A and B are shown apart, each in its own frame.
Chain A
């Protein structure tokens, strides 16, 4: 209880600090501890404030949710230690104002989340997932440190203010960009550095998965923006940086959702969707970087806003989805979608909140996912008009990828909601499920409400967000001085750039949907009509069985056919027959879709590493003559080199 209270309070304060920081510009403080010659510099600027707001907006509901979720947890101590440290790490990263403090909090975040991932360490696969997570987190940390080292070499100081002033040569700027890109990309789960993510997210406790997927990946996005946009400066962008980010985003978006479609573990599926959404954020960022390079600062600001908007949206609905999955796990004890079904009758509130998140992530109006993806599309669609052969070539392609990812995501969540919540229970665990307690429901209600608010009132929220591009690009979307891209006074219509081009009014859409839905409902169910309930028609077969329902594997079968080249599914069919070839008694169909990147990239790297280790071990075990020879050769070499 105390833990949840404190967590909730910290989340609340983070939200308040985030809002005030965005509105008033925040401030900075130098704490008197840290290294002897480098006290800790903390600063709250618009960028940090926004991410602090994102963190707080999810920590608060998760804290309330944890009160219910952890009520039956036996081993609370590790969670009580590492969960606050994890949150502290994330908040510290967004507040830090020197590289040392940044790395300190960054590693605090990585290491404490490792202990949370391996919370149920009695299962060997959890330990393996935790190990891979720790390994990749440390590689990411090393790359990020390399990026800071590059900046340090030019500026001569660990403080961000000095790094901002330093002028990097184009070559070193590219080195720093690549190191930061790969480092933060690994932590954010960008394809192909995503290998740890689908393993680590499902095995963590669900409240932790919500935080990891909802915020921790965003902290990596924050780090990337901090280094490339803030410390290196948007004026230094080279054209291929934006193109690279755009390509990484497009491939992550599509491959993430494609892999998600083939999962039947609910939390693993959500983990792959995190990869997809990180891809969408990166598409927005990449577009903004390209546009900033070509000097279209207003459009770049629009792209940046789209990316940031999707960041907070994803934090909210992915946090909500993981909390919903946690609620399902809590009452059924399983993550396997094939064992569920019909949960909407037993867990109506959870189902409702989960549906809100499903609609949001599928980018359908009137919820928030639509707004940010729509803004990303607007940015992408306006880019070609502004000329430049390169923009014309790349941008439509990634816009198409974004559209494909959006459609596939909708397919995927039709599958999730249909298989888990609709239909009949496929097993006893699903038919015995109970609605979760009020704490958890309240924890899910808050982000669901936020999803609706952010979806209906983007015109209120975007002016608040606008402080970030003001900081990074010195361009405002809302002020009338340079072009006035978005009219802040117009609360009803969201109009980026030009009313003739495109505009969107969420309140009107919502009103229209309510009217249309009401009329349809009234037409279908006039007052006084009794709804007739009877047994399902079973095509004349006397026996019906819950396993005859459409399930997760069969729903995704068409896509498995279409994208067979990408999936390379491992399918086995086995039929048992009784005396005659036509008298089939039992058919068994087993399919396994592995992650191609893991198979073709991670495993070879692992094999090569082991092979090198084996060779070195063999060298270690050579006789004394070999050692003497090494010594001799070393002496000769040192003499030759240094004398």
Chain B
């Protein structure tokens, strides 16, 4: 595969990642959010594989396989199980209406492109265009955490931030050292396990999964006294 062609493919995949980030923001149903999250994981694995092939950094193949297993299959399945068990699969319940959210998201994306511009000029990696997109994805995922009420959507937002950072790592430096990546992968796995455990506990204790209810019972209790 020639370098310009690989560049084209990576740029295309980056664009798709950005599109999925927007899709995550725009969804109303919990299960479709989860589907898009899984799609993002799969796309990430594919990107890693393409970069590994074109740059000759064969360690990246291991990364790609791990990403595929963990972010493409395992985490979505775990979250899906949680959603089924807790019966929260209806609406995502945004705080802002989705039109406004998308407007803000566009502004944030433009901002990310503006910010990353000086880096793109100095970099000579073939993946340099993806830096701006990765930054935008990080910010969009954070935006998703802010604008959603349910705890599960926030966890998905958090994992999406991690995805975007991984994407940035591939894009900027052809991947981090393998040891670091394995460590991060396990951290994410453990985090997901703990989140899952917490959902059940929260459900048992407060009989609700909405952040506001948790606030009301945990924090604002002492203020009213």
Contact = CB atoms under 8 A, between A and B. Distances in A.
Interface of A: 621, 623-625, 628-629, 631-632, 635-636, 639-640, 643
Interface residues of B, number: 21
Interface stretch (B61-69, B82-90, B141-149): B141-149
B215 A623 contact: yes
A625 B211 CA distance: 8
Return the 6 tightest CB-CB contacts between A and B, nearest first: A623-B215, A628-B146, A643-B115, A639-B115, A632-B142, A628-B145
A629 B146 contact: yes
Contacts of A629: 146
B146 A636 contact: no
A621 B223 contact: yes
Contacts of A621: 219-220, 223
B95 interface: yes
* Interface class of chain A by DSSP: helix
Interface in B146-179: 146, 154
Given A625-B211, A632-B146, 19 more contacts: A621-B220, A621-B223, A623-B215, A623-B219, A624-B154, A624-B211, A625-B95, A625-B146, A628-B142, A628-B145, A628-B154, A629-B146, A632-B139, A635-B142, A636-B108, A636-B139, A639-B112, A640-B115, A643-B115
Contacts of B135: 639
A628 B142 CA distance: 8
Max chain B C-beta neighbours (<10 A), residue from A624, A631, A635: A624
28 contacts: A621-B219, A621-B220, A623-B211, A623-B212, A623-B215, A624-B154, A624-B211, A624-B215, A625-B146, A625-B211, A628-B142, A628-B145, A628-B146, A628-B154, A629-B146, A631-B142, A632-B143, A635-B139, A636-B108, A636-B111, A636-B139, A639-B111, A639-B115, A639-B135, A640-B115, A643-B115, A643-B116, A643-B119
B4 interface: no
Max chain B C-beta neighbours (<10 A), residue from A621, A628, A629: A628
Contacts of A643: 115-116, 118-119
B24 to A, nearest CB: 16
A632 B146 CA distance: 8
Contacts of B145: 628
A635 B161 CA distance: 13
A628 B161 CA distance: 13
A639 B134 CA distance: 14
Contacts of A631: 142
Interface in B27-72: none
A421 B145 CA distance: 77
A367 B144 CA distance: 81
Contacts of A628: 142, 145-146, 154
A631 B135 CA distance: 15
A625 B96 CA distance: 12
